[in-house]
Structure 1
Amino acid sequence: MAMNAPRGTQDILPGTVEDWQYIENTLKDLSHRFNYKEIRTPIFEHTELFQRGVGDSTDIVQKEMYTFEDRGGRSITLRPEGTASVVRSFVQNKLHGLANQPTKLFYIGPMFRYERPQQGRTRQFVQFGIEALGSEDPAVDAEVLSFAMKAYQELGLSSLKLIVNSLGDQESREAHREALVNHFSPHKEELCSDCQIRLKENPLRVLDCKKDRDHPAMKTAPSILDFLNEYSRTYFEKVKFYLDAMDIDYEVDPNLVRGLDYYNHTAFEIMSEAEGFGAITTLSGGGRYNGLVEDIGGPATPGIGFALSIERLLMALEAEGVELPKQEELDCYIVAIGEKPELEAVKLVDKLRSEGLRVDKDYLHKKMKAQFKAADRLKAKKVLILGDREVENNLVNVKDMATGEQKEVSLENVMAELKKMKEE
């Protein structure tokens, strides 16, 4: 029986992986400019971390986690998102004690969710995210939103829409929670089974339901913005003030709640408005999560972050017809005919690679014509030709594949000649 990759996973092959590398390098460069440092956390964690950090009432915890028992009887889960792991590391390694605060971190790596695979949604997906821990300044919220928008814009996307909302502080949320319960309770039996549970455990998440989104009660549900206390309202106004100062366009959507339990105050999503992108337009999202550090056992520490899926980013690039630059060309390809030239080619390839050049050669003992075809397919800028005569005279023929110009140079001077031709 043929062995295939598990459902919901994919192989990223040469020719495609270069796009991934370019995206990852761009995001890392942007992180350095914003002074975010990389953090790498385990791919699996104790299940309790996500139950406490992400929230027991979320679809992720209830339906989508890959959870198993290890040989020691411990419940282990493949990470479904990055924030909980970063916060756990922040607490465990006492990063809150560092002199420079806030602690600004970025991560990139695979996440795992058991959901129905579809375009842009896989069971193993790669997520990039940033977290800023230790400041409750609205300017940090604006910085994170700016980072998120720049991440897409610097990769060439333009059909973007930033949606923002405030979920308020604990007092505001409690008042809104009570209003939601009163509003939806008369319609409880008309809601899906998940929402009937959410109405009791976390009524805010009823607004995020995909099954009941067309229910009439959704359209008349009380808005969180009507229940913000003075502090929460002022905080949100400052965030918007900073966004305006940076000329970042946005829309306020009072129904934006996000799917994780730990959010409060600022919440946001970035949508693709590209034609043909698909029914699910969300590219990324994030928000503030004051209280999460305490939930995971750390000191009171405010935080904010966002995450994006590389897979959905690639979909958006395709929808907008953006082609990423790829470094596919070889600096040179060595064609060798004969036993002695083959030995000299092996030595020359190794020497040129040590000098920092991208070099390859034939390993299938093809004839000269076939080797030149291989060099052409690999987009080699130069071809170095070695035959018995060249070896005997300590020479190599250097051919410029763009102009067809060819010249003989000594093996000792080949590196200098290649550099000279490259500069020309």
Structure 2
Amino acid sequence: MRFQRPKGTADILPGESEKWAYVENIARDLFNNYQYQEIRTPLFENFEVFSRSSGETSDVVTKEMYDFHDKGDRHISLRPEGTAGVVRAYVENKMYGPEYQRPVKLFYMGSMFRYERPQSGRLREFHQIGVEAFGSDEPEVDVEVIAMAMDLLQQFGLTDLRLTINTLGDQETRDDYRQALIDYLEPHFEELSDDSKLRLHKNPLRVLDSKDPQDKVFVKDAPSILDFLSENSQKHFDRVRLLLDTLNIDYEVDATMVRGLDYYNHTIFEIMTQAKTLGDGYTTICAGGRYNGLVKELGGPEVSGVGFGLGVERLLLLLEAQGVDMPSLNTLTAYIVGIGEETSPATMKMVQSLRQQDISAERDYLNRKPKAQFKSANKNNAQFTITIGESEMQNQTANVKSMVTGEEVSVPQSEIMVNFKQVVTDYFNI
């Protein structure tokens, strides 16, 4: 029987996996500069971790969650996003305690799972890179997270970035705005989509996020949350804008922007870029914001958080669409060519010696003729070939050839096995 991968998943093969490693390495280096540390959480959690954090009315919970009962009849979910699991780990491991310096800055990378129609850049198993910072209510942390996201996308090589921000305010703001939205939408109840009818009284802000063309007609003229900000919310948002201006980060305010998950408040943002191959106009590549109530919702103290997430599959498509050249990480420095079966022990010793010097090296494992071995060296873009034949065995030398210049020299094998980098410097002036 021939098996195929499950629908909505992908095999990341050699040639592609190097691009993933390149992206992950850039992210790790940048996060280190901002003093964010890696956290790794389970691929599955108790169902309530996501239902309580995402909100019962969210699409994630109502439509997209991969959930099941295990053999112990525990209700389990594959993680549909990264934040809730990180918050659960933060609470369970008491990272809010005095031994941790605030804000606690964390980042994650890994697989997420949502049951939705597979399409380009959106799979059922997808991958996210994200950050979370806990323990500070200050708008300065919001701005640091936004600046880091912009910095990261620019380091990836993306251009034409557009930052959009909004505020969802504090609880006072949300309560006032919630009632205003209900009052506005109630007369149009029968004309709303079925999803929006269900959300109207449970979480009317989710109606603003509806993709239904019918709903968009009413959303266009809906009241603006910016007209309902409390004094505290207005002060926080003004400070965010001032600090973005101070850092010369261009942005637009979009009062209709909301988040699909219920735990966000105060600052939210999206970063978009343009890629013609992914459709007309701008496409969102990174999104995030502040979520002051989520830690308490999952059993912890009243601790604020702020973060962002980006999809790796979508990122790679955008990098390709914008023609960003990603360097290969799988470079080959030296290919060891053996002429004759009797040279196999010597070439094996040589290739292992180079690897122990932290040099990428390869040799033949198919007992092929020298011509075929040289072809492999060319195909793998080896910088040097090191050839050992009968005469080299007798003289304990090796023929080293630069595949770039064609220059060849005879070098004692002992020198190569002690310090090949020095050999390259001494004999090839590199």
Give the AA of the match of 1:301.
Answer: V
SS at match of 1:389: helix
Report if the CA contact (8 A) 1:272-1:283 is conserved. Answer: yes
Partner of 2:209: 208
Deviations along 1:80-128, one digit per CA (max 9) or x if unpaired, are 0010001001100000013410111000111111111111101111100
Q: In the aligned structure 2, how far is the partner of 1:118 from the partner of 1:8? A: 8
Does the alignment pair 1:312 with 2:311?
A: no
Structure 1 residue aligned with 2:169: 168
Give the CA RMSD over aligned residues: 1.3
2:360 to 334, 358, 361: 358
Indicate conservation of the 8 Å contact 2:193/2:214, yes or no.
no
**2:67 paired with 1:67:** yes
Give the one of 269, 289, 292 matched to 2:291. Answer: 289
Q: Which residue number corresponds to residue 408 of structure 1? A: 410
Q: Distance in 2 between matches of 1:266 and 1:213?
A: 28
Equivalent residue runs for 1:369-408 within 5 Å? 369-408=371-410
Structure 1 residue 271 corresponds to structure 2 residue 278: no
* Counterparts of 2:66 and 2:217, CA distance in 1: 35
2:144 alignment counterpart = 143
Distance 2:195 2:2 in 1: 39
Residue 53 of structure 2 corresponds to 53
What are the ranges of 5 or more consecutive residues in structure 2 without an aligned counterpart? none
Q: 1:420 Cα shift?
A: 3.1
Contact 1:332–1:360, Cα closer than 8 Å, also in 2 = yes
Shift of 1:418: 4.5
Residues 60 and 80 in structure 1, CA contact (< 8 A), matched pair in contact too: yes
- The answer to whether the aligner puts 1:342 opposite 2:354 as a matched pair is no
1:38 aligns with 38
User: Residue 234 in 1 paired to residue 215 in 2?
Assistant: no
Residue of structure 2 aligned with 1:421, choices 417, 424, 429: 424
Q: Deviations over 1:181-225 (max 9, x none)?
A: 111111111111111011021000000000146642111101110
Q: Distance in 1 between matches of 2:195 and 2:396?
A: 78
Letter in 2 for 1:174: D
Contact 1:328 1:379 in 2 (8 A): no
Q: Per-residue CA shift, 1:274-297, capped at 9, x if unaligned?
A: 333326711121110001011000
Residues 80, 180 of structure 1: CA spacing in aligned structure 2 closer, same or farther, 3 A cutoff? same
Does the 8 Å contact 1:191/1:212 carry over to 2?
Answer: no
Q: Give the residue type in structure 1 aligned to 2:393.
A: V
Contact 2:66 2:114 in 1 (8 A): yes
The answer to whether the 8 A contact 1:262-1:292 is kept is yes
Q: TM-score, normalised by structure 2?
A: 0.96
SS in 2 for 1:108: strand
Change (3 A) 1:272 1:338: same
Letter in 2 for 1:192: S
- 2:19 alignment partner in structure 1: 19
- Which stretch of structure 1 is more off in the superposition, 58-67 or 320-329? 320-329
TM-score, normalised via structure 1 length: 0.97
What letter corresponds to residue 290 of structure 2 in structure 1?
A: R
- For 2:386, the aligned partner's letter is L
| Matched position secondary structure for 2:96 | helix
Residue-by-residue CA offset, 1:148-201 (whole Å, 9 max, x unaligned): 111100111111111100000001001110011111111111111111011021
Question: What's the secondary structure of 1:330's corresponding residue?
Answer: coil
Task: Indicate conservation of the 8 Å contact 1:160/1:273, yes or no.
Answer: yes
Please state how far the C-alpha of 1:74 moved relative to its aligned partner. Answer: 0.1
How far did residue 392 of structure 1 move?
Answer: 2.1
Structure 1 CA distance, aligned partners of 2:415 and 2:161? 53
Contact 2:133 2:307 in 1 (8 A): yes
Q: Distance in 2 between matches of 1:131 and 1:13?
A: 30
8 A Cα contact 2:193 2:215, kept in partner: no
Which stretch of structure 1 is more off in the superposition, 386-395 or 191-200?
Answer: 386-395
Residue 7 of structure 2 corresponds to which residue in structure 1? 7
2:126–2:313 CA contact under 8 A, matched in 1: yes
How far apart are the structure 2 equivalents of 1:392 and 1:110?
Answer: 54
Per the TM alignment, residue 389 of structure 1 is displaced from its structure 2 partner at its CA by 2.0
Q: Are the counterparts in 2 of residues 192 and 212 from structure 1 also a CA contact under 8 Å?
A: no
Higher deviation after alignment, 321-330 or 264-273: 321-330
The count of aligned residue pairs is 424
Following the alignment from structure 1 to structure 2, what is the Cα–Cα distance between the partners of residues 28 and 157?
A: 17
